[in-house]
Amino acid sequence: MNEIKKEVEIMLIEKKSKFITRLFQISSEDQAKKILLTWKNQEKTASHHCYAWRLRRENEQVYIKRSDDGEPTGTAGAPMLAVLIGEDLVNVLAITTRWFGGTKLGTGGLTSMYKKGVVEAVKKAGKTPFIKLIRYNITAPINRADMLLSLLAKENISIKSKEFTQQVKLILDIRENQYSSAEQIVKRCKGMIEILK
């Protein structure tokens, strides 16, 4: 399995129809839906917002979804999803926004353009092997926040969210290859932090 290295955008034009394909890194269905809604609201003049996503859930099942958004059945979401499956990508959302240029492309033409957009976007984004993440919830006294954040930054451990009150509460996503670093941080902070997996 693979993930995209970075989020990208590409534009293709065919018979005056404009297709903008964007790839996003996602970690939940809610996140995918919010991204999709954002682009629908930002680009209200577009004719269609077709999409496909593949999401690897905690139970290790891969969840898929696709939509033709009013295009002829099977001409948009299915070819977009086929590229994601062919590239073995997970935790990715592909959205192709189309502005109709006045000339019909036919089902073959539409299928080709939606597929081509995702193919080109994946080339631009690049791929990296998927690495399983374990989510940790950490609570520490507020006077230890600076030390804890510094240790996490040194080990390049991703902080998903921070909350500062009388304590510091962090949500971390730790990659399999960072486990030993995370264990060292726990040892250095022993007695000062509480970790809930």
pLDDT given for residue 59 in this prediction: 65
Same fold, 2-129 and 133-196: no
* Size (the chain), residues: 197
- Enter the tokens of residue 113: 């353009």
User: Cα separation of 107 and 120, whole Å?
Assistant: 20
Domain 2-129 has CATH 3.30.230.30: yes
Alpha-carbon gap, residue 59 to 46, rounded angstroms: 37
Cα–Cα dist 56/63, whole Å:
6
Instruction: State how far the Cα of 169 lies from the Cα of 95, in Å rounded to an integer.
Output: 34
The neighbouring-strand residues paired with 95 are: 22, 51
The structural domains of the chain, with segments of one domain joined by +, span: 2-129, 133-196
Give the pLDDT of residue 179. Answer: 62
| Measured distance CA(3)–CA(88) in Å, rounded | 8
CA geometry: angle 29, 163, 28, nearest 5 deg: 5
Contact between residue 33 and residue 26 where contact means Cβ atoms under 8 Å apart: no
Whole-model pTM: value is 0.72
| Long-range contacts of residues 107-111, Cβ cutoff 8 Å, at least 24 apart | 107/72, 107/74, 107/75, 109/14, 109/15, 110/71, 110/72, 110/75, 110/76, 111/74, 111/75, 111/76, 111/79
What's residue 196's pLDDT?
53
| 3-state DSSP assignment of residue 98 | strand
CATH code of domain 133-196: 3.30.70.120
Q: Check: CB of residue 74 under 8 Å from CB of residue 68.
A: yes
C-alpha distances out from residue 112 to 30, 154, 173, 195, Å: 29, 46, 37, 49
Q: Residues 17, 103: contact at Cβ < 8 Å?
A: yes
pLDDT in tens, the chain (197 residues): 899 999 999 999 999 999 999 999 998 899 999 999 999 999 989 999 999 999 987 667 899 999 999 999 999 999 999 999 999 999 999 999 999 988 899 999 999 999 999 999 999 999 998 877 777 777 878 887 887 788 888 877 777 788 888 888 888 777 766 666 766 776 666 655 555 55
Quote the pLDDT of residue 187. Answer: 65
Written as one letter, the residue type at 93 is: L
